A and B are shown apart, each in its own frame.
Chain A
C-alpha cells in the first residue's frame, strides 16, 4: 500500500438559497485549496467530484463542473453520484494504483434548490418505498422511534447532541446554525416529524468543499503535517428498511473494524450524522467513547448539511485537526442513503 495523506482543504461558508450556479459554487474552493497547498494545476494527476444530479434536476449536470477545473489541456477526472467523501475514496484507490501522486477531490450540494426531503427519498428502494414518498426525515424519524423504543437512545441524549453541536458551531466559520441552547430548552420545543424536533435534523444548506490528496514524498513536500490515511473502508446495508435492525448500524461497525479505528486512541471523530440519534448509533457502531474522543468539534452535519458535501466536510475537518496539531489520530466518517444505509470510515494520523 502507498502512504496517502490529505494535505489541504477548503470549504465554502454555508448559505441558504444561493443564486450561484454549481460551477460558480465550486470554482472558489478549488482555487483556494490549490493556492493553499501551493501546487500548479499541471501537477494534479486526478480530479474526482461528488454531487447529485437529482438535486439540480438536470441529467448530467455534473459534467458542467469540469468547467470549474480548467480542463485544457485535457485532464483525468471522474465523478461519483454520491457524497464527495466517496469521491475521496475513489481518488485514494486511484493513487494506490500508482497512476498518479496528487489528486483533488471536491463536492458541492445546492440543497436548497429543490425539496431535499423528497429528493433524497429517491435513494430508497425504487419498487416498494420510493413511490410512497415517505420523506427522508420521516424515514429517519422511524429509525429514531425504533431506537427510543428499544432504549438505545433517549430524547435527552439526542438533545444533548444538538446542544453540544450548536455550541461547538460558534467557532466554525462554515456553520450555519449556532448558539447556546440548553438541553431543557431544546426538549421543550415541538416535534417536527415525531420523535424528531427541528434541531434533531441537519440543516439543509448550499455548500462546496475541496481537499487535496497526495502520496508519500509529495505529501511531505506539500504539508507540514499531512493527515495520513491509515485505514479506509466502505460498507453498505440492504436498501430494504424492513430487513434491517434500524437500532444499530451494522455497516458502520464493519467499516470501522476494517479501517482499524479500535487499534489505538482516537482524539477527534468527525461523524457524518444528519440526525441526532444517528450520532449516538454511530458512536456505538464505530466504537468511540465520548469521554475520550472529541466528537464533531466542528458542529457536524447538524449545523450545516450541504447534501453530497457534508461527508467530505467531515474529512476536511478531521484533517484540519491533524494539521493544527490538536489531534494525532482522527476518524472521519460519511453516511449515505436512508437510516445510515451506507457508511465510509477513515482513520487519519499525524506524524
Chain B
C-alpha cells in the first residue's frame, strides 16, 4: 500500500483578485462621500434623481445619467427591519435597525442604519439625518456615514411612488 492510498481529503484554497471599476458616471458620487457630500445623478430622460447612481444608467430609460445633484442630507424612512439575528462578522450590537432612506431631493432610497433611538421607535415616514464618522475616516463609501438618527421633525406621509425602488 503506497502512502497516497491513505489520503482521503486535501485542502486546496482558491482565490482570485479583481480590479473593480466604479465607472465614470458613479465617480462624482463616490468622490462626494470622500468630501462629506451626498451627490446623486439626474436622468436626462425621466429626470429622476438616483442616489446612489446605480451603474451610471437609468434603468427606466436605458440612458446614461446626466448632471450631478446634491441631495439630503436629511431624509425619510420608507421601510425598515429590526435585526435580531446574530451572524458571523456582525459589527453592530443587536437589536438594530436597517432602513431604506429616501434622501430629500432623491427619487430612489438607499439602505443605512438608524441609531440614537430605540429600535421599536423607528417607523415609516420618520425623518432622519446622517451622522458622519470622523473626517479622517471618510472614504469612497457610504460607510463614511456612521448611521442616521431621528431629526425630531414631524413624520412625512409617503406617496406610493416615493422610494418605490
A interface with B by C-beta (< 8 Å): 17-24, 27, 30-31, 41, 54, 56-57, 64, 66-72, 110, 112-115, 118-119, 130-133
A314–B106 alpha-carbon span in the complex (Å): 43
- Given A19-B23, A24-B24, A27-B62, verify A56-B57 contact (CB < 8 Å): no
A309–B16 alpha-carbon span in the complex (Å): 21
Extra contacts besides A56-B20, A131-B12 (12): CB < 8 Å? A20-B23, A21-B21, A23-B54, A24-B57, A30-B62, A31-B62, A41-B62, A64-B55, A70-B60, A114-B16, A114-B17, A130-B14
Is B61 an interface position by the 8 A CB rule? yes
B18 to chain A, nearest CB (A): 4
Of the residues A56, A66, A110, A131, contact of B14 by C-beta under 8 Å: A131
- Given A19-B24, A69-B62, verify A57-B55 contact (CB < 8 Å): no
CB <8 Å contact, A57 and B59: no
A150–B19 alpha-carbon span in the complex (Å): 41
Which A-chain residue is minimally distant from B25 (CB atoms)?
A24
CB <8 Å contact, A113 and B20: yes
Count of residues in B whose CB is under 8 Å from the partner chain: 25
Of the residues B14, B21, B57, contact of A27 by C-beta under 8 Å: B57
6 of the cross-chain contacts (CB-CB < 8 Å) are: A21-B21, A23-B57, A67-B62, A68-B57, A70-B61, A72-B59
Which A-chain residue is minimally distant from B10 (CB atoms)?
A131
Residues of B within 8 A of A113 (CB): 18-21
Most buried by A among B10, B12, B14, B54: B14
CB <8 Å contact, B59 and A70: yes
B interface with A by C-beta (< 8 Å): 10, 12, 14, 16-26, 54-64
- Given A64-B54, A68-B62, A70-B61, verify A20-B24 contact (CB < 8 Å): yes
Residues of B within 8 A of A114 (CB): 16-19
A64–B57 alpha-carbon span in the complex (Å): 10
- Given A57-B18, A131-B14, verify A21-B56 contact (CB < 8 Å): yes
A67–B60 alpha-carbon span in the complex (Å): 7
A76–B12 alpha-carbon span in the complex (Å): 41
Residues of A within 8 A of B54 (CB): 23, 64, 67
Of the residues A17, A64, A70, contact of B62 by C-beta under 8 Å: A70
A322 to chain B, nearest CB (A): 29
CB <8 Å contact, A23 and B55: yes
Residues of A within 8 A of B18 (CB): 56-57, 113-114
CB <8 Å contact, A24 and B55: yes
A115–B60 alpha-carbon span in the complex (Å): 34
Residues of A within 8 A of B21 (CB): 18-21, 110, 113
Residues of A within 8 A of B58 (CB): 67
B119 to chain A, nearest CB (A): 30
CB <8 Å contact, A24 and B62: no
Residues of A within 8 A of B62 (CB): 27, 30-31, 41, 67-70
Residues of A within 8 A of B12 (CB): 131-132
CB <8 Å contact, A67 and B20: no
Of the residues A71, A118, A130, contact of B59 by C-beta under 8 Å: A71
CB <8 Å contact, A23 and B56: yes
CB <8 Å contact, B16 and A21: no
Residues of A within 8 A of B64 (CB): 24, 27
CB <8 Å contact, A133 and B14: yes
Residues of B within 8 A of A115 (CB): 16-17
- Given A66-B59, A70-B60, verify A57-B20 contact (CB < 8 Å): yes
CB <8 Å contact, A67 and B57: yes
A133–B13 alpha-carbon span in the complex (Å): 10
